[in-house]
Chains A and B, each alone.
Chain A
Amino acid sequence: MGFGLDHRFTQKNLSAYLDGQLTDREQERVERHLAECTDCREDLATLRSTVDLLHAMPPVPLPRSFALPASAEKERGRYRFWRRMHTMLRTATAVASLLLVLLLSGDLAISLGFVPLAKRTAETASEQTLVETRVVEAPEAAEAYVPTPSPTAAAKRTEANGVASAPPRKGAEEAVEKEAPELAVERPAGDVSSQRVPTQTAEAVEPQAGVLQHERALEAPKTQDTPTATLHPPTPTASKPPTPTPTATMTPLPTREQPPAQPTRSPYWTIWRWLRTGWLALTGLLLVLAAGLLWTWQKRRLH
């Protein structure tokens, strides 16, 4: 072993050597080096003097007793309560964070299409429901976007939607024209509300990617439950004269006779909903608790 290495080792362990904290082997190494290094010997001597001085430091007498008063017991109870609260908050925060991570992961998986939120078992029945809904909307949509729709164009569109939808559409148009001709004439072409309602509902019914679209798709059958109310509303401007004509648009549709096929919700959907609700509840609770703690702490600090 070289002189430099021994020198560094000795310099590093001079205090331990003084205090007898080295192993026999280390002690021998230090002593061997000390015998041949003047610097290290001087260092050792001055360090020993310093230690002697420190040992000679007078102990400081106690100014008073530090015994605790009996009231400390009360304070201990309070401290334990706050400590429990702190532990609870910490655990709740950890759980909330975990839930948030799960929620975000689930959201991502759903939006990427890895996890189906709903599976349609009665495919054909569901299709039919959609077609029927469009049939109901078709005349108004045609009126809204094409001021003077040619019968051939309307017929073509109806054919595109499905053959089964053709007769009801015609019937509906005839009913409107027969029983409320003034309604069809007086309806303003630029009435935005009357144009938008069916269009938006139609959009909602159409299947799209993403969570919101899935949700809308799931909620679509609910909107179909009241098609006469939402899809066929005679606009307030259109029904100015209080004639019984609106009843014409409220005629029951053939779709009412058989209930629409409900899409079956997958178990992922339920888990996701529970996860979301749980996270929201926990975060709310945490916020309330944190606000309470902050308020109490401020109050205690002021006193």
Chain B
Amino acid sequence: MDEAQIIEIAQQGDVEAFNQLVRSHEHLAYNVAYRILGDYDRAMDATQDAFLRAYKALDQFRGGSFKAWLLRITTNCCYDILRAKQRHPSTSIDDLVENAEHSRILEDHTESAENGLMREELGAGIQRGLDTLPYDQRVAVIMVDIQDMRYEEIAQVTLVPLGTVKSRINRGRKKLRDYLLEHRELLPEKFRPRYESGKDG
């Protein structure tokens, strides 16, 4: 059964059919949410909320890319959470983020502990840089560079013209580069020399 057929059945209200869609997209949705929010618990909330919203509003899905539609809902949920966070800021979130990512990677037994730690250090350093980007640029950079999505797909998700996507990606990458040049110590040793030839922060 292909995705279009599953969507059609799920549109009748079949939870089990919808859960098939959840299983094929939850990894992507959760990763996007995690990179946007930089927080494990909030990313879980956003992802769960996104799937629930998608299920409730599935009859409004008018064809096209289900992935783009789902990611739009996910980014909207993330935006709501970020706004709520701005209204009620809490302390020591950064520590929680690092701990969360650390524990997640250590649980991944497919790579060695040393590699895992290095990747975790890299991930945490870049995550800090991503957190400094404006929301729109952050979403665009995450989608193109972390999730390997095409520009057209990003335009579908964010509902903006292709030119705007290009501009957001360009500005987002430049800001992130400038941040990483300024905070080189955040990156693992292995990744630092690659910036030596570049601008000095």
Interface residues of A (CB under 8 A from B): 12-16, 19, 21, 42-43, 45-47, 49-70, 72-73, 75-77, 79-80
Partner of A54, one of B27, B105, B126, B199: B126
| Chain A positions within 8 Å of B107 at CB level | 61
| Chain A positions within 8 Å of B180 at CB level | 50, 53
Check B119–A63 contact: CB distance below 8 A. no
| Chain B positions within 8 Å of A70 at CB level | 15
Instruction: Label chain B's interface by main secondary structure.
Output: helix
Instruction: Label chain A's interface by main secondary structure.
Output: helix
Size band of the B side of the interface? Answer: 35 or more
In the bound complex, how far is the Cα of B63 from the Cα of A132, in angstroms?
A: 78
Check A47–B174 contact: CB distance below 8 A. yes
Check A57–B126 contact: CB distance below 8 A. yes
Residue from A15, A49, A65, A79 with most neighbouring chain B CB atoms (10 Å) = A15
Check B56–A47 contact: CB distance below 8 A. no
User: Quick one: CB contact mask for B1-41 with A, threshold 8 Å, 1 for yes?
Assistant: 00000000000010100110011001101110011000010
From known contacts A58-B105, A76-B55, infer whether A16 and B170 are also in contact, taking CB-CB under 8 Å: yes
For A71, the closest partner residue in chain B by CB is B15
Report the minimal beta-carbon distance from A121 to chain B, rounded to whole angstroms.
58
| Chain B positions within 8 Å of A73 at CB level | 13, 15
For A78, the closest partner residue in chain B by CB is B56
Check A53–B30 contact: CB distance below 8 A. no
Check B169–A63 contact: CB distance below 8 A. no
In the bound complex, how far is the Cα of B143 from the Cα of A25, in angstroms?
A: 27
Check B199–A42 contact: CB distance below 8 A. yes
Partner of B170, one of A12, A52, A59, A68: A12
From known contacts A53-B191, A73-B13, infer whether A42 and B197 are also in contact, taking CB-CB under 8 Å: yes
Partner of B19, one of A15, A61, A68, A76: A68
